Structure 1
Amino acid sequence: MTAPTPPARITPRVLGTGPLPDGLERPGPGAPAHVWLLRISSHAAALSADPSGLDVFDATERQRHQAFIRAADRDRYAVAHVGLRRLLGGYLGTEPGDIVLVREPCPLCGGPHGRPAVSDDGPHFSLSHSGDLVLIAVAGSPVGADVEEIPTVSVADDVARSLHPRERAELAALPPADRTLAFSRCWTRKEAYLKGTGEGLAGGPEHTYVGTGAEPADVTGWALVDVTVDDGYGAAIATALPRSSAH
């Protein structure tokens, strides 16, 4: 059975500070991922007004949250991870604080730092945050999500040295005014893909071509989709395709 061709771009659902939408059903294998957007500025105010929201954290999350020196970093972590637990609780029909989060083995070395996962066969998920935005993808197969503030030309040019040779050539051919947007498209696709595989940047941004153009390139076994977010940001998700539809 061939999976439907994914769209080149999707618009996420915005998760507000109120109750979750009713009837959240976890997507099955091969179904499109559910993509959610949170704005840190609004959620941080709600957590500040009711700090009991942080009670959903496990010991590791509490330790990481308290380790941040800057208040902005603590807020970003709190909003992202409370939002993730709220969503997973909605999909699983359980209390957010009862969800046990684990790490899968790294596909490169076998160490305990691969994809984050829900124990006991929960849905696949991926979380990313940058600036004022948090992006969360929930799927029935391995998934990666990435959101990034669009960088300056100098930063884009510097990081572009680590990309696939075809991507470096495509960016070099563009004027500076167009290069940052093209780089942002490429980098968020690449981060999403490498998070989806569980390799992270250790997997090598130079190995897989994802493209810098308006539509993502085809990547064997994966569906890459750009995500429409706020101005000044780029975002993408990568979802593993069922074996029968991988190309």
Structure 2
Amino acid sequence: MTLVQSPVFELRRLDEVLVAGARLQELGRPAQERALRFASAKDREDFIAGRLALWHFAASLLDVDPARLVPDYSCPQCGPAQDHGRPGFMLDGVPAPLALSASKAQGWVLLAGVVHPSEGARLGVDLEAIDQAAFQGFDDVALTPGEKHFLKSVPENQKAVQRTRLWARKEAWLKMTGEGLRRNPAEVDVLDRPGLWDITSINGERQELPEGFVAAVAIS
């Protein structure tokens, strides 16, 4: 199964997304309840900002008023009407013709979407700060033997970048499949997997990734 077109991306700073308490109701009850469970005000604000950014992104892709879109997240394990899982929206009471994915990292949110995707199309995107894969023991819990062998051939000053690229690819792929980290990432080799690639710029070089970040996208 292939998508009818390449994904459109949008990169936003979370602190630049309008976040107002009165707008929390527009995210739908599942997201409202999840937002209220965050112990940290910063985590709560980032969550709300990410959801609002995706809501407006979806509306811009469809060229409709955001008020016509109702969030409709679905988890492959838990079913529809969730506060997590694959993002989606209802448009005037019917599923909006979109494949969507989003990823937050250290104050940024990366959004990806395809309008009128082919039936059954799936999309996953991931944004990672390079220092997130630097902890001791990461390779043993996250990488396949082939990926470990690949890292041995990488110059020392590039290992952190390449290690994080591998992790971003894994996250994007597992978001796309809907497995998430229920699947052991050390079993998912992403060195040369069709339908998976690094993101180095946004929408034809119009915007670069922030320094210190890498990203990947997976489609099927």
Whether 2:104 is the aligned partner of 1:129: answer yes
Gaps of 5+ in 1: 4-28, 212-216, 241-247
CA contact (8 A) 1:124 1:143 kept: yes
1:203 to 183, 206, 209: 183
Separation of aligned partners in 1, 2:110 and 2:88: 16
1:55 to 10, 13, 25: 25
Whether 2:75 is the aligned partner of 1:100: answer no
Whether 2:60 is the aligned partner of 1:85: answer no
Separation of aligned partners in 2, 1:90 and 1:118: 13
2:15 to 33, 37, 41: 41
What percent identity do the matched residue pairs reach? Answer: 24
CA contact (8 A) 1:149 1:234 kept: yes
Cα offset, 1:150, TM superposition = 0.9
Whether 2:173 is the aligned partner of 1:190: answer no
User: How many residues were matched structurally?
Assistant: 197
Question: Once structures 1 and 2 are overlaid, which stretch shifts more, 89-98 or 123-132?
Answer: 89-98
Separation of aligned partners in 2, 1:192 and 1:136: 12
Q: 1:153 to 1:37 in 2, by over 3 A?
A: closer
Counterpart of 2:53, as a letter, is: G
Q: 1:148 to 1:182 in 2, by over 3 A?
A: same
Cross-structure match for 2:199? 226
Counterpart of 2:169, as a letter, is: R
Cross-structure match for 2:149? 169
Q: 1:175 to 1:129 in 2, by over 3 A?
A: same
Residues 53-102 of structure 1, C-alpha deviations (whole Å, 9 max, x = no match): 33312111111112212222112101100111112233342434741313
Counterpart of 1:130, as a letter, is: A
CA contact (8 A) 1:57 1:97 kept: no
Whether 2:68 is the aligned partner of 1:68: answer no
Residues 13-64 of structure 1, C-alpha deviations (whole Å, 9 max, x = no match): xxxxxxxxxxxxxxxx330001111101222xx32xx543333121111111
Separation of aligned partners in 1, 2:51 and 2:132: 28
Separation of aligned partners in 1, 2:165 and 2:69: 36
Gaps of 5+ in 2: 202-208
Q: Please identify runs of 4+ aligned residues in structure 1 that moved more than 6 A.
A: none
Separation of aligned partners in 1, 2:169 and 2:122: 15
Classify the secondary structure of the residue corresponding to 2:171.
helix
Q: 1:164 to 1:147 in 2, by over 3 A?
A: same
Aligned Cα root-mean-square deviation (Å): 2.3
CA contact (8 A) 2:111 2:125 kept: yes
Q: 1:97 to 1:61 in 2, by over 3 A?
A: farther
